[in-house]
Amino acid sequence: MTVSVLDLNNAEETVRWDAFVDKQGTLYHNSHWASILRDIYGFKPYYLFVEDNGEIKSVLPLFHVKAPFLKDELVSIPHVESAGIINLEFYLEYLDFIKKTLKIPKIKIFQNKDAIGDFAAATGQAVMIAGLADTKEMIIPNIKSGRTRNEMRAALKKNFQVTIANDDGSLRDFYRVYLKKMREFGTPPHRFAYIKKISESFGSLCFTIVVRQGDEPVGAGFYIFFNDYLYNIYLTVEDKYLRHKVGHLIEFKAMEMGVENGCRYLVLGRCEEDGGNFSYKSKLGGSPVKLYIHTFTLTANGYEGVLDSPVKQRYSFIAPLWSKLPSLVTDNIGVYIRKWVY
């Protein structure tokens, strides 16, 4: 039983990694994220795996995030909802390997479903996953909330133009809405190159839904197919169009795409368990998969678990100030800040 670092330049090793992930992992364990986060944000990937007699038993994708006086940590993985250890029985092997070979002072792991051993973890967040109907005709009847069913039907009757595509123009329309929404949230945005790199990496598995009022995009979603799952990577709607239930319109079109392509589940994304998004996603049929945010610090005795507050909690006071800044500032400076916020 050995722990190794994946050679991302070795096509055979990478194929083996992805074959294992296809059976047991999530979209965010796929090896494409190694080049996405390395090329766009400069994070160094360490994709660890446990092997026994030539067979992969477990994987742990990590990135070294380092900046003077700011961060020096391994993260699994930054900027996605969760991508922790697959097969938790090997967590001690990973911690021992990192201590002996990498010696990085801090590790952060976004682990879903089960906690890592008895270590402390920040909780209160979940990844919401909804089961998809068997046919397009059953999408709305399959939604448990009567109010949500009625709102979705009403949104479908409104005079919005909806396009579903996988091209640069649609991606840029999505990004226009995304920039506005991030400013409204008080959150620095990702740069367009990050979104573009994801689209290029996953190719035909990606698509964008854009809702327009006239020529102006007012809501958009960015999605990726992965096995039986359709992942909602981002869904953004301008605040003034929320009351028109443009979000429900996008969700319906995404569910249609999922059903048409044989998906069984729609991953609605991560949210706070006591927040409005949790209630919204629950009404769409989402069920929570618990998220455990583990932080480990290196001591003389090895890595010890510590409780660390989530980024959103630490920087919540900045959001109201950020949302009031001019878009020229938030759109251009925010992309440099976002690298360090995950």
**Count of H-run helices and E-run strands, the chain:** 11, 13
Handedness of CA 153, 154, 157, 158 (dihedral sign): negative
Q: Which CATH number covers residue 40? A: 3.40.630.30
Q: Is the pLDDT of residue 313 over 80?
A: no
Per-residue model confidence (pLDDT) at position 67: 87
pLDDT band for position 322 (cuts 50, 70, 90): confident
Which residues, 6+ apart, have CB-to-CB distance to 81 below 8 Å? 28, 110, 127, 267, 269, 270, 291
Mean pLDDT over 72-90 rounds to: 96
Q: Is the pLDDT of residue 157 over 70?
A: yes
Mean pLDDT over 141-146 rounds to: 92
Per-residue model confidence (pLDDT) at position 114: 95
Q: Which backbone phi and psi does 82 adopt, to 5 degrees?
A: -175, 145
Single-letter amino acid code for the residue at 142:
N
- On whether both 138 and 216 belong to a single domain, the answer is yes
Q: What is the pLDDT of residues 261-283, one digit of tens each?
A: 999 999 999 999 988 899 999 99
Q: Are 201 and 247 in contact (CB under 8 A)?
A: no
Which residues, 6+ apart, have CB-to-CB distance to 256 below 8 Å? 136, 139
Q: What is the pLDDT of residues 230-273, one digit of tens each?
A: 999 999 999 999 999 999 999 999 999 999 999 999 999 999 99
Per-residue model confidence (pLDDT) at position 312: 63
pTM of the model: 0.94
Per-residue model confidence (pLDDT) at position 324: 86
Q: Is the pLDDT of residue 69 over 80?
A: no
- On whether both 139 and 257 belong to a single domain, the answer is yes
pLDDT band for position 1 (cuts 50, 70, 90): confident
Tell me which residue range forms the domain holding 300.
2-117+290-308
- On whether both 296 and 234 belong to a single domain, the answer is no
- On whether both 215 and 240 belong to a single domain, the answer is yes
Per-residue model confidence (pLDDT) at position 308: 83
Q: Is the pLDDT of residue 311 over 70?
A: no
- On whether both 77 and 178 belong to a single domain, the answer is no
**What is the rounded distance in angstroms from the CA atom of residue 233 to the CA atom of residue 157?**
26
- On whether both 113 and 144 belong to a single domain, the answer is no
- On whether both 84 and 143 belong to a single domain, the answer is no
Which residues, 6+ apart, have CB-to-CB distance to 329 below 8 Å? none
Per-residue model confidence (pLDDT) at position 316: 67
- Cβ atoms < 10 Å from Cβ of 106: 17
Q: Structurally, how many domains does the chain consist of? A: 2
**What is the rounded distance in angstroms from the CA atom of residue 25 to the CA atom of residue 245?**
33
Q: Are 78 and 34 in contact (CB under 8 A)?
A: no
**What is the rounded distance in angstroms from the CA atom of residue 214 to the CA atom of residue 173?**
13
